[in-house]
Structures are given as structure tokens and as C-alpha cells.
Structure 1
Amino acid sequence: MMPRYFNGREIELLAPSGNMDIFKQIVNANCDAIYIGGKSLNMRMIRKGFNFSDEEIVEATQMAHDRGKKLYVTVNSMLNDQEINQAIDYLHFLNNTKVDGIIIQDLGILQLCNEYKLDRFEIHASVMMNVHNIDFVKHLQQSGVSRVVVSREMDLQTAKHLQVETGIETEYFVHGDMCTVNGGNCYYSSLVLGNSSNRGRCFKPCRWAFETKKDGYTYPTEYPLAAKDMNMYEHIPELIESRVQSFKIEGRMRDTDFIVNLVNTYGDAIDRYIADPFSFDRNKKTDELFENRKRDFSTAYAFGNPGLDFINRRYEGTGKFYSTGKMFSTPTEEPSITNDLINDVVSQLSEPESSNPSPTKHRMSVKVKDYEQAKLCMESSVDRIYIPSEVFYPNEMISIDQLEHLRSLNSQTDIFLELPQMMDERQLEMTDQYLETHGHLFKGLLVSNLGAIQKYADRFQLVANYNLNIFNQRAISYYKDFGVEEFTVSIESKRRELGEFIHLSEEPLEIIAHGPLKAMYLDLNLYDNTHVLNPSEKSDNDHVENDQLVLKTEKGENPVYIDQFKKNHLYTAKEFNILPILGAFEKPISFRIEGHAYNADDLREIIDTYQKAIANPSQCDQLFEQLNSTKAGFTLGALSFK
């Protein structure tokens, strides 16, 4: 098959294939490239009978090349340290097989490719890497990435601007299953069910039934996180004008006939537009696509934030949320802390033979929500405070005068600025201006994306936040090479993984120690539901003030905070609490308290309790028993699972 071109720019239709039987049909369909997953290390590991053996990858590569098509392999799971050797062997195999490209999420994979000089395939940044600004792209280009699957929340004109400014190849999802949560920033499945959405085992809690509660009322939202399917079929001209090179169809878990028909329909439309743009009929076969849809359709963020129109209502109530026609999970309570769990986690954390018998010097940091909390932390002489730049309503950003006053209270507490979890070009400009004028007030920055690392590593001490999803030492090595000095452990680490990660790490580590955990980070504004729906009944919130929106199932309530950029932050109902296992940490650790959910008195008690535990770990059990939860109880989150 000859490549497609429009005005000299190559256009690629990229089709999915879940297994070899499907591939044998897809490879003859009207597409230019196909992406598949191997037997491990990819984001579709949850369904049996899918993915390719090594022998099948060799066969598929030859079949694709014989037909003039490209083959890409997804190596897009996050890897723990035990999987690194497996990844090295697998990457060498793919390199020798001469697949055309690999799709990655974990920067540890990128580190391995560069270390072993694996250059027979292209490296593409997965949508799960959440690429969303120019500096992010430039950083990846320097490391050998040739294509980025842009963030699902990116509109087409921003994608065009990114491509024009960097020259990177861009890939855009044009059809199929979508997430409401920003890529790589959903931890709900991992924290509640022990199955990570970043490691190919998402149990889809976004498809649960939730009621929305706010201001003492319940709103009948049914399924407020359930996204429609993407459908850009009628907008091929706009995709091409936006300089998107690869049109990506989602569906490695869909059946053969559905995918083949979908691919041929898109391929025909692209060919018709290339052949004669002036007479292009963008509505041809739209009725057929609509009749065969799995869910209702949306153009998602392609032309701006879709708001509540992004939410699917087609199959709600029938259980048919997925292409397989069945649900993956039902509402589940967040795991509680038990004595057996504590003992098991402690055994996983303990060093086989301690090489440092001297007393361990732990540190404490606190992420604060306002000036009152920051002042309390300074007076309590915590080691570090983080001041957020994404500020939850009704709080306001700590003023410059307040910052100056905080610095005068003591010189022992370092003040860091937490940058936004995602940073578009406007936010980067705001941050540049703010730091240019007031950067001297901060010891360093807490960063959550590569764009921020690219811009600020030479000016500030950088701490990698947990949102970077660092699971292994190769990823640490990658970030260290680019100036990151300290690393926050992923909140998805299970107990065995956490113990191994800490034992192997030589760099300074920080661990979230206390507070509700952020389970979802969304552009979707759930607060809009309260503006368009009529309340069904009166009902007070259980654990947060009534002016706070919560999503409720019969198993609990999840508070949702909104920041000044209208991003939504969904948190766990229970408080993560590391007190009962704190004494098992033999290496120096910085323990972080997430303070946003507490009033000053509650935060003072938590700080005091942890300071006592750090000073005398033998008191941890007693201190844990004495500390009462102000939320729905205590949890160890992902550490509850092996």
C-alpha cells in the first residue's frame, strides 16, 4: 500500500488489533499502520485471549511489511523494578524483529532504549504520558521520541500549534473509547481495587453509578464519569488542517467485524478527501457508524471543552458499558487497615540485612491549602511546606506579603511551590512571570510534568511529584539526568513493590504519609451538574462540608474539589495513614501530609502525631490507636494489595 499524502504531508490511518485472528483481517483493511500489544508490558492485559506472542509479533511484522504497512507495538505499561530485565529482553527482541515503532508511557523504557542503543524502531509517546505543552515535547525530542500521541484533552488548534513549533509528528485519537480523567492521572482502580489503570488493569470505576451531592441536596446524575465514544469521522478536513499525521482508532479489545468495518469506513473517507477536497461529502456513511455505535458519540475536546455533553447515556442502567457488553467492577469500599495487613506490609518493607544500624533521620513535609496552615507548619518547624498553585475553592493563593512573612518566622522550614499537574502554554507563561518576580521566595519546585522539568531544572531544586508515576530505578535515573533531585513514590505502589523500590533507591525519596489521596484529575467540571439538574432530595454530606461536591455510591462518598482553572480533583473518602507502618522504614524518608482536607486544629494534631512517631518509632502503634479519623476512616490504599 502506498503512503497517503495531503499537500506533501503524510497522513496515516492507524488501526488496532487485539490478537492474531483479528490482525489477519485488519492487515488487509484500508489502513496504513497497525498497533498491537505483546504478551506483557502493555495497557490491555486484563482480557484473556488478546495480545500477541513473540512468534506472532514476528509473523505480524512480516505480514504488515509485505503489504507496505507499518507495525507498532505497545510497551506502554508502567514497570516495577522486577520487570526491568524482562523489558530489556523484550526491547531487544522488538528491535531485532524490526517493528516500525514502540509506544511507551514509562520513561524507564526510554532510558533503556537509549542505554542499549536500540534504534531500529521509532519511539512514540503514549497518550498516557499526557503530553500537553511545547517544552514537554522538546524534552522528549531531545531523548529520541519522534511522535507524541497528544493529550486527550488537547483541542486541534493547540495540537497544530504544538506541531508547528516543534516539528514533532502528532497522533490523535479519532474514534473509540475515551476516559474522562487526564491520561496517567487516574488512580481510583489501583487505590480501591488493587488494579492499576496505568498498568493495563483498569477496572473502570468511572463507569459506576454515582449520585452527586452538594449544598445539602442530591442530584440524579446516574453515571457522571462515563464518557461517550470519540467520533471524528465528519471532521477529517479539520484533523488534516491541524497537521495531525496519524489518525488513531481505539479498539484492541473490539471484535473483528466491528473494527474492520470502522477502519475501512475511515480509510475511504480519508481517500475521498485527498482525491477531491472540494466535493468531499463528510456525511457519507455517518448513519451507518451511528447505527453500529457501542456508545453515543462525542468529538471530546477537539473543538474545546465539551462539558457535560461528554457524558454517555446510551447504555446507562443496562450494564453494557464496554465493547464486551459487561462491567468490570461494581462500587467497592476503600480498603480498611487491619492488623494482618500491617504485619504483612511491615514484613515487605523491612531490609533483609540492615546496612545502617544507626538511627534513621526521617523528614516531614506538608502540602498546605492556605496561609493559616502554612503559618502553623512554620511554627511547628516541619522540614518543608508545599504551596499549591492549583488552589481549591474557596481558598485563595497565598499572597506575596504572606510569603514574605512566612519566611521571617523561621529559617528551618523550606518553602516549595507546587506547580500545576498539567500546564498549558498559558499556565507556563503565568508561572514564568511569577517565578521571575518571586522565585527567590522558594527553595524549590514540586513538579508533575516534563515541561516544567525542561524549563526550571537549571534554576530550582526539583522534587518529582507522585503524578509522574515513577515505578522503577531506570525512570529515576532518567529524571535525575535532567535535574530532578528528589522523588515522590507512586501512590499506586503495592506493598511488595514499595519495599523493593525503597531498598533499591539511592536517591532521596518522599512518600505520601497522611491524608485523602487524589484518585482522579479531570478537565470535566462535575460542578456543572448542580447547575443543570434539579435536586431530587435533601441530604447532607457525611465527612465534608455541604458546600463541597461529592460523588456518592452505596459504598462511600468521594469529595471533588475545583481549582481556579476549573480542573476537578476527586479524592478518596478515607484518609491514607502510614503511621502503623512508619517504624518499618529503615532508610531516611520524607513523609508528606496532604493538608488540604483539614482545618487548622486537625492538621496541628496530625503534625504533632507524626513528629512524635518520627522521633520515637516505637510509639507508632500507640499513636495510631489514639488518632481519630475526621473522614470515612483510615486506609493504606494500594499498599492493601500484594
Structure 2
Amino acid sequence: MARYFNGKEIELLAPAGTFDIFKAVIDMNCDAVYFGGPSLNMRMMRKGYNLSYEEVREAVNMAHDRGKRAYITVNNLLNEGDLDEAKRYLSFLNEVGPDAIIAQDLAVFPLIQDMNLSNVPVHSSVMMNVHNLEMIEALKEMGVTRVVASREMDLHTAELLQAKTGMEFEYFVHGDMCTVHGANCFYSSMLYGNSANRGRCMKPCRWDYRVKKDGNVYPTEYPLAAKDMYMYEHIPELIKSGITSFKLEGRMRDLEFLKMIVNSYGDAIDRYIADPLGYDRKENSDTLYENRKRDFSTAYAFGKPGLDYINTRYEGTGKFYSTGKVFSTPTAEREVKPERLEQVRDALAGVRQPEKMKQPQLSVHVNNVEQAKTVLEAGADIVYLTGDVFQPDMPFTRHDIEMLVEMKGSSQIILGMPRMMNELHMEQYNHFLRGGQYGLDGLLVTNIGAMHKFRDIALPMVGDFNLNVYNHMSAKLYHEHFGLERVHASLELPLNDLANLLQETEKVPVEMIVHGSPIAMYLELDLYENTVAIEPIMQEDNKYVDNQHLVLMTDKGENPVYRDWSGRNHLALAKELCYLPFLKELHEAGVNHFRIEGKSYTTEQLRSIVGTYRTALQDLSLCGELYAGMKPEYAGYTLGSLQFGEALSIDLQPVHA
């Protein structure tokens, strides 16, 4: 089955969560169906959903018998234990012959290459967060034949990128959306040990938060809960933008709901192709409105939606697919317990690798010039100048960089980049970096587009933590294909997965964030707009950060939200990560670069923290004593995702100290 408009192919892509649902959906008015197999996909929370191996085989055959396409989601981040399963699964899919797999983890590419699989085309998942031309060119070089656009990409940008690259574009047109940039939400992992990037999100974005800023509290209800995507009335614009595949979200939806959505969109596309001049955009739209699960929005399709993107009714309250079950309720970040520290030490001792040990290096991520000067004076070996400067500090200027380079001594100054780099960002960095190197010692890169664009510049590149490196194969690809000097371990790794990553990663240095309040959610949504649109209901100061910064508050704590100069928001942990008690074991496990996330601290706080870690790295036997003398600056200390996971080795046998 195929549809065309002005010679351009149009595909309506429908979801299916079970084989029974697939058997019905494949005969609906769609051109393709996507679904997950028994593992390694982003919908692993609901029992009885996803297809078995034999059901996958039969589903692909059924689709092809009807002249339709079948796409398989293999879109989880993969831990070390998943890699063997991925080999088996990809070999099976190579035999079965789906029209493509939809993948997130870059380890998929070397797996396919190493096994010489020729029948597994790859589409990039929305979790790859494709958002600039260079990313598309990089993925094209790796063999990707279609990209699923970032949820924050507007149709005008999609049209330009598609025209310049010739890449097929898939675009979400209906269903559940998220306010956080794809693969940039780590909060579920750090609260529950359930990764949003491994199909187990506990939806902390749908909690009933209040906003607080400048001493005022605002009754925001559900300020992170997105409405459902709704592009039913904008099919002409989707087609004009060069979108090939119109993707319907809903692998966890029931059959009757999917029947309504799929046939409504399919019939609308057919009506437009048959009569574009007389096309009625709103025909039958009342059916979708009357049966909606949340309120509707066109999200970012036509520009930033602002607060209109936020839902306050229906499932926006966090209820699970109309059953009344709530994913999660506000939960405090776990405090550090002595017994857990012992478990972490024991697990890391089980992967002791003295051959990897080198002189430990202390790096600090800073937000302004004064912080940079302070940490240089305090003994930092590496200073990362952020590419996402939090207001009210100003972005680093050329003069700032040259001044810091002059005073760096034996330390390194490395220039960071924004997490999301649009075409303007790429142009700015390209002009700056090709105009001179200014004495910089390297680049802290956040996306494969930047790696692709700047790999010919004679500056070492370090992969930032948002790349979410979860296994040694993706680390190796970043190192060998893109030329990264080292990578950061994912903040989402539970204890056993971290131990396994360190044990299996051989030639690629791994850096770790060991202190600070890292960003757990990275949003295009500007929560600060609430303070203009809503009247406050009471006065109350922030507990830990300056009143100029917005916080999201529940009865379990306050999460600071910082705003950068692109208007993007960065939600931080309420507590501080503190890995000081087991720095020695991390070093013996092969970690030689230890990073302090310092952007939110005052210079006095930062001087003290850097000084403590500097002392610890000079004599790792002092870590326990130094930790006992430290006091948190915020709501306490936490281990984040290392609160979770057993002390396991790579062969999944218990590790004993």
C-alpha cells in the first residue's frame, strides 16, 4: 500500500502493543505498523504487551503479504547484559526481514556491522533527539535511512533539513508527548532506578508541582504535564514540509481507541489526496475530540507553544491510561546510607583494574568567569566552560576565554556546547572555532552533529554526560568513529551496570560526575512563564537556592530550575550527588577523571568543594575522613542511580570484596 501527493510518498504509521492488536491494526487504513518484541524496547512497563519472537515473525509476514511495512522498536539504551540479547535479537530480525528497526543506542551500529547483517535497515528513534543538519549527515554516514524528528522540531525546520539532506523524516502527529527533550530526562532513574530511556519511566513530569520564584508561590497544578499531540487538522502542512511518515503514538492503547485514531487519520489523508482544493480540515474532528485522553496541542509544529502546551485535565494528572492508576506520587530523593556506601565499595572492588589507573584528574563544570578563576586557583585540572549558561550570568566571551587561558597554568580550559544545537548555534560555533583556537585545550561535545562538524578542528573532543553512554560498544563507537578522547558514564547507570561498563570498557577513558546537582530534566518549555501568567497565592522563600531562580516544589522537596540564554530550562536534583566516600574504589576500577558539576554553586562553596576533592585525589585514603567533615549546600547528599542495582559482576554472579 502506498499513497502519494505531488510525487511524494505519504505513510501513515500506526502503533500496536500486542499481537492481537497488530492483527486488527494491520487491516486498518494505515500503510505501516510499528511494534516491540519481547525485550529491548521503550514500552516495557505493561504486562502482556509486546510481541514474542514468533509473533514478530508472523507480524512481519502479515504486513508484507498486504503490501504494508513493519517496523520493530529496538529503542532502549542497552546495558552490558543486553548486548548478548541484542546480538540474538538482531540476528533473528535479519532473518525475519522487517522494513526497519527503530533504534536509540549507538551500539546497534557496531553490532550490525560486526555480525555482517544486511537485512536490518535502521531508523533513528526520537530518543536520538535529531535536531540539526550535521546530526542527520552523521547518521546518514552510519547507514540510517530515516530519522524520527525531535519532538521540539517545528515543521519549517523539518522542511529545510529534509530538503538539504534528502533524508526521510518521520514525525509524531498524534498522541502522548513529553515536555523534556528526548533522552534528556534522567529523573526517573535517579528517584526509582527506572530509566525513562530504557522503557520504564515513572512519570515524575506528571506530578502536582507548585512553582515558586522571587518569594512567590504559584498554583500551577501540573506544570510539566504535556497535552497530547494533535495534527489531524494540519495534514496539508505536514505533507508540504516533506514529512514521509505520519507517526501515531499509542503502543499501550487499546484496540478500539487505535481503530478510531488510525482510521480517522487514514481517511483524512485520503480525502486530502483526492481533493486538496475542497479539503475540509475539521471533518470528523469531533470524534477525536470527544474521545481524547488529554487535551490537544500542535506542540512545537508551528513554533514554541508556551504554556498552552500544558495539560491540567484527563490523564495529565498522571493517571495510567484511563484506569485510574497513578504512575508515581511525589518522592524524595534518597539520602545516602552507610550500608549502601559499603555495597557500592564492594561492587567497585570487584572490578578492580590497576592496569587502567593513571594520575587522577579533577574537572569542574562552571557557569561564569569568577567560578572558572576560583576553581583554577583551587587546583582543578580541567575547567569546562558551559555552553548552556544559566541566567543571570552572561555567556562566555572571546575575551573571557583568552583571559582564562592566560591564567590556566598547567590546567586545561575546555569549551562546552549547548545540549541542543540548532542551526544558529552550529553557525556561531563554526565561525568562532574556525577563526582561531584561542589557546583552548578541547571541546565538550553534546551531540553527534557537533562531533561530525568539528572533527577536522585540531582540538580534542570530550563527550558530555548527556550522551548517556551505557555500554562499552557505544563508548568505543564515540571514540573510534567520532574521535572522542573520553566519554562520561551515563548518570542513569545503577550500580551493577556501572561496574559492568567500567569492566568492559578497555580503550576509552571514562569520566564520571562525582559531585553536584546535575540536570535531571532538560526542557524547551519555559516554566518561568508561569510567574507572568498566574497570580501568586502566597509568599515563601526558596529553601536552598536564591529566590531569583524558579523551583518546582512538592511536599517532598524543591527542585531548582535554571533558565539559560536560549530560554531553555534545566531542572536539577534537589540534593547533591556525592561520590567522595568511594573515589578510591572508582579510581581502582579504572576511572581517572572526576567531575564536579559546579554551575549552581557560589564561588565560596565551589572553592571549598574543589579543595576537598583536590585533597582527596592527592591521598585517596583520606576520602572517608573528608566526607565526614563535609556538609551539603542543598537538601542533602544522594547517590542518584547508584542507590539502585545489586553488586553484580559482568557474568551476573555476586561480587564479594
Normalising by structure 2, we get a TM-score of: 0.96
Distance across 1 between alignment mates of 2:74 and 2:316? 35
Contact 1:520 1:570 (C-alpha < 8 Å) held by counterparts: yes
Distance across 2 between alignment mates of 1:342 and 1:539? 35
Say if 2:601 is the partner of 1:598: yes
Distance across 2 between alignment mates of 1:321 and 1:228? 14
Q: How much does 1:218 deviate? A: 0.2
SS in 2 for 1:415: strand
- The structure-2 alpha-carbon separation of the partners of 1:605 and 1:319, relative to structure 1 and needing over 3 Å to count, comes to closer
Matching residue of 1:607 = 610
Distance across 2 between alignment mates of 1:393 and 1:494? 32
**After superposition, where does 1:140-179 map in structure 2 within 5 Å?**
140-179=139-178
Matching residue of 1:503 = 503
Q: How much does 1:353 deviate? A: 5.9
Distance across 1 between alignment mates of 2:73 and 2:322? 20
Contact 1:458 1:483 (C-alpha < 8 Å) held by counterparts: no
- Give the paired residue count: 640
**After superposition, where does 1:416-431 map in structure 2 within 5 Å?**
416-431=414-429
Q: Choose 314-323 or 145-154, whichever is displaced more.
A: 314-323
Distance across 1 between alignment mates of 2:205 and 2:400? 39
Matching residue of 1:236 = 235
SS in 1 for 2:326: coil
Q: Residue 500 of structure 1 aligns to which amino acid in structure 2?
A: N
Say if 2:95 is the partner of 1:92: no
Q: How much does 1:321 deviate? A: 5.6
Q: 1:618 aligns with which of 609, 621, 633?
A: 621
Matching residue of 1:432 = 430
Distance across 2 between alignment mates of 1:527 and 1:12? 38
Contact 2:315 2:322 (C-alpha < 8 Å) held by counterparts: no
Say if 2:373 is the partner of 1:375: yes
Q: How much does 1:8 deviate? A: 1.1
Q: Residue 596 of structure 1 aligns to which amino acid in structure 2?
A: K
SS in 2 for 1:290: helix
Say if 2:409 is the partner of 1:411: yes
Matching residue of 1:245 = 244
Q: Residue 207 of structure 1 aligns to which amino acid in structure 2?
A: R
Matching residue of 2:549 = 548
**After superposition, where does 1:427-576 map in structure 2 within 5 Å?**
427-459=425-457, 460-480=459-479, 481-506=481-506, 507-576=508-577
CA displacement, residues 2-24 of structure 1 (integer Å, 9 cap, x when unaligned): 31111111110000000011111
Contact 1:315 1:321 (C-alpha < 8 Å) held by counterparts: no
**After superposition, where does 1:377-396 map in structure 2 within 5 Å?**
377-396=375-394
- The structure-2 alpha-carbon separation of the partners of 1:540 and 1:74, relative to structure 1 and needing over 3 Å to count, comes to same
- The structure-2 alpha-carbon separation of the partners of 1:352 and 1:511, relative to structure 1 and needing over 3 Å to count, comes to closer
Q: Residue 487 of structure 1 aligns to which amino acid in structure 2?
A: V
SS in 2 for 1:441: coil
Q: How much does 1:395 deviate? A: 0.5
Q: Residue 485 of structure 1 aligns to which amino acid in structure 2?
A: E
Which stretches of structure 1, 4 residues or longer, exceed 4 Å deviation after superposition? 316-319, 352-355
Unaligned ranges ≥5, structure 2: 646-657
- The structure-2 alpha-carbon separation of the partners of 1:588 and 1:313, relative to structure 1 and needing over 3 Å to count, comes to closer
SS in 2 for 1:278: coil
Q: How much does 1:568 deviate? A: 0.4
Matching residue of 1:34 = 33
Say if 2:299 is the partner of 1:300: yes
Matching residue of 2:655 = none
Q: Residue 484 of structure 2 aligns to which amino acid in structure 1?
A: V
Q: How much does 1:383 deviate? A: 1.1
- The structure-2 alpha-carbon separation of the partners of 1:143 and 1:318, relative to structure 1 and needing over 3 Å to count, comes to closer
Q: How much does 1:382 deviate? A: 1.5
Q: Residue 365 of structure 1 aligns to which amino acid in structure 2?
A: S
Contact 2:217 2:538 (C-alpha < 8 Å) held by counterparts: yes
- The structure-2 alpha-carbon separation of the partners of 1:312 and 1:124, relative to structure 1 and needing over 3 Å to count, comes to same
Q: How much does 1:208 deviate? A: 0.3
CA displacement, residues 227-281 of structure 1 (integer Å, 9 cap, x when unaligned): 0000100000000000000000000000000001110110000011111111111
Normalising by structure 1, we get a TM-score of: 0.98
Contact 1:381 1:412 (C-alpha < 8 Å) held by counterparts: no
Distance across 1 between alignment mates of 2:238 and 2:149? 13
Q: Residue 618 of structure 1 aligns to which amino acid in structure 2?
A: S
Distance across 2 between alignment mates of 1:317 and 1:165? 37
Distance across 2 between alignment mates of 1:267 and 1:128? 26
Distance across 2 between alignment mates of 1:359 and 1:310? 49
Contact 2:514 2:596 (C-alpha < 8 Å) held by counterparts: yes
Matching residue of 1:311 = 310
Distance across 2 between alignment mates of 1:144 and 1:400? 38
After superposition, the CA RMSD in angstroms is 1.4
**After superposition, where does 1:255-266 map in structure 2 within 5 Å?**
255-266=254-265
SS in 1 for 2:312: coil
Q: How much does 1:216 deviate? A: 0.5
Q: Residue 383 of structure 1 aligns to which amino acid in structure 2?
A: D
Contact 1:33 1:69 (C-alpha < 8 Å) held by counterparts: yes
- The structure-2 alpha-carbon separation of the partners of 1:600 and 1:353, relative to structure 1 and needing over 3 Å to count, comes to closer
> Identity of aligned pairs, percent?
51
**After superposition, where does 1:187-226 map in structure 2 within 5 Å?**
187-226=186-225
Q: How much does 1:439 deviate? A: 2.7
Unaligned ranges ≥5, structure 1: none
Matching residue of 1:401 = 399
Distance across 1 between alignment mates of 2:362 and 2:619? 14
